[in-house]
Chain A
Amino acid sequence: MADSYLGVRLDVLRRSQNPDGGWSYYTGKRSWLEPTFYGALVLHGDPAADRAWSLIKSWQQPDGSWPPTAGAAISGWGAALCLTMAQIRGEIDGTFLKGLAYLLKTAGTESEIWRRALAKFGLVDPGRNLSLKGWPWKQGTSSWVEPTAHTLIALKKAYTALPAPEVAERIRSGQALLLDVRCKDGGWNYGSAWTLGEDQRSYPETTALALLGLQGRAEAAGSVDLAKGWLQETPSSLARAWITIALRLHGIGVPNTNSPLKGSGSPDLMVVALEALGAPEGNYRLLKTEAAG
């Protein structure tokens, strides 16, 4: 096990956990929410994961959001990750409810009423349906594919425990937004499919993330084929890891890999965690969601 694809990565993660229980993106740095979430997901059930969750759970801000790292006064997308983790751990408590309320009240600024009015009267051409609501990286900015996909995972899990109409509506709208901004090539860019009259090309990592948000949706099928092709072609370890996770969650077989750790070429601990998560015996199933909304 220790020498296996997964074992090598688990060993790296265990050795690189910070004394406070979190993980940094790179060894020797401060703990950040995002790599800590993935480290905890990979090691779910292990005391190391409990310490990681205790740390980031304590970071919740008064508005229900989470900062990207301790003390940064930013209401960021990490709330989606923390809500997902709370549900995986079965902690439907005050922290969870505050976080859920935050996500339900947060939307990309492009869907504000005055922007929709400008588009309706033809004064601007946003190239997308502004009535659909996604989620931003940071409160007060526009919605993007990645934070929207992460929030859809959190809300779909929440809907199972708390089937409220407002949760269902945000899931419906968020999924519709992802489908609305899909690029002509069948994948996803970071945001819009179209800018200044030019079609944008899609990227493997954002396509994989959108597929995670669209689990259970038949419309995702064509994009799954595109992602399968990218798995062989992309030079990005991060993109390969996300595609592997997305394909497995869509029930697509992914060839086992025996590539050594150094083969990934990245010292980024989050990439290491995602590779471990997507291993055949990895914890990718924890991100599984049912169709909802």
Chain B
Amino acid sequence: MKISRRDFIPLAGAGLMAGYAGWEGLRSRRNAPSGPSPVAVIKATSYSEDLAQRMLRGVRECGLDVRGLNVLLKPNLVEFDPNTSINTDVSVVAAAYEVFKSLGAADVMIGEGPGHRRDTYSLVEMARYREISKFDDLFVDLNRDDVSAVEKFADRAEMYFPNTALRADLVVSLAKMKTHHWAGATLSMKNFFGLVPGSVYGWPKNELHHIGIPESIVELNRIFRRSFGIVDGIVGMEGNGPIQGTPKPAGVLVMGSDLPAVDATCCRIMGINPAKIEYLRMASDGNLGNVEESRIEQRGEKISEVRTNFALIDSFRGLRLT
């Protein structure tokens, strides 16, 4: 039986927030993929290329069917600095919108809750997201959306999330390929930090650091499991990411339905050993997805043909893939 996040029951009188009905049941049936996970690696060397065509090819390679679904595109929009490449490029977001509409999604929205800056609309302006046609009609500021509680999040009894994200049939993580000075790498799984509302937890979302970054990444991906990852590695970030690093062209879009598999593939492209990334190890141990190379069915480009080592800060030198 298909269980949708639409099944959650919003407000039930007296302003009380409802829990996410059936949540425990949903968790228990979310086992690891029974077979290898398809992950597509598509070459794209510039943001001026026909990205929609390339993305469409990748989505089809992964066998994703979005007909009739309400899709939420979740880009990585953190901070703006014209001298580096922090955010998912606007052309990738625009291409994803076009692709998911063309594949028959009932509705496609764009939502993000930036983790650092308070002025979401200033960020979307600077990142040129407002150049997307009818952007203001499509965009939801996930930091200030109405929220509902989901029971149990790591050691917390409950956690609040934006209703727009809870109601989506599919959350598409439009992540950026970056190194991260706490987590090692930030890719499609870590991008879900932006689903945590700042209006409840503040800026930055310090609650997640207190719970633990790897634990929070895994928990978020358990909750938003009906997901698809597309990582913008056309120009990523190396060194002291996710904000103060330097641009690193990798020339790829990486995508798939199994986000741990997508992120493990990205790590291999970046020259990082995914087995040494704690949240990927936890995701693998917890049957959240496939991380081992033998359990990932690579489509499109071979990793060896696109691998380009991302510079690592000293404390992460040991992550290098040999």
A-B contact pairs, 17 of them (CB 8 A): A29-B145, A70-B16, A71-B15, A72-B160, A136-B206, A138-B200, A141-B209, A142-B209, A142-B210, A144-B206, A190-B116, A190-B203, A190-B204, A191-B204, A236-B119, A238-B122, A239-B122
Is the beta-carbon distance between A26 and B126 smaller than 8 angstroms?
no
| A interface residues, how many (CB within 8 angstroms) | 43
A292 at the interface (CB under 8 A from B): no
Please, how many angstroms separate the alpha-carbon atoms of A146 and B201 in the complex?
13
Tell me what chain A mostly uses at the interface: helix, strand, loop, or mixed.
loop
> Contacts of B117 on A, CB cut-off 8 Å?
203, 205, 236
A interface residues (Cβ-Cβ under 8 A, vs B): 24-26, 29-30, 32, 34, 68-74, 76-77, 109, 136-138, 140-142, 144, 146-147, 190-191, 195-196, 198, 203, 205, 235-239, 265-268, 271
Out of A34, A142, A235, which one reaches B122, CB within 8 Å? A235
Is the beta-carbon distance between B202 and A77 smaller than 8 angstroms?
yes
Is the beta-carbon distance between B206 and A266 smaller than 8 angstroms?
no
Within 8 A of A (CB), among B240-282: 240, 244
Is the beta-carbon distance between B240 and A198 smaller than 8 angstroms?
yes
> Contacts of B126 on A, CB cut-off 8 Å?
235
Out of B125, B141, B201, which one reaches A137, CB within 8 Å? B201
User: Shortest CB–CB separation between residue A149 and chain B, in angstroms?
Assistant: 13
Please, how many angstroms separate the alpha-carbon atoms of A77 and B146 in the complex?
18
User: Shortest CB–CB separation between residue A34 and chain B, in angstroms?
Assistant: 7
Is the beta-carbon distance between A32 and B149 smaller than 8 angstroms?
no
B interface residues (Cβ-Cβ under 8 A, vs A): 11, 14-17, 116-122, 125-126, 136, 141, 144-147, 149, 158, 160, 181, 199-204, 206-207, 209-210, 240, 244, 313, 315
User: Shortest CB–CB separation between residue A78 and chain B, in angstroms?
Assistant: 10
Counted as pairs of residues, one from A and one from B, with CB atoms less than 8 Å apart, the total is 112
Is the beta-carbon distance between B210 and A140 smaller than 8 angstroms?
yes
Is the beta-carbon distance between A138 and B244 smaller than 8 angstroms?
no
| Contact A236 to B122, CB < 8 A, known contacts A74-B200, A140-B210 | yes
> Contacts of A144 on B, CB cut-off 8 Å?
202-204, 206
Is the beta-carbon distance between A267 and B207 smaller than 8 angstroms?
no
Q: Which residue of A lies closest to B123 (CB)?
A: A236
Q: Which residue of B lies closest to A32 (CB)?
A: B199
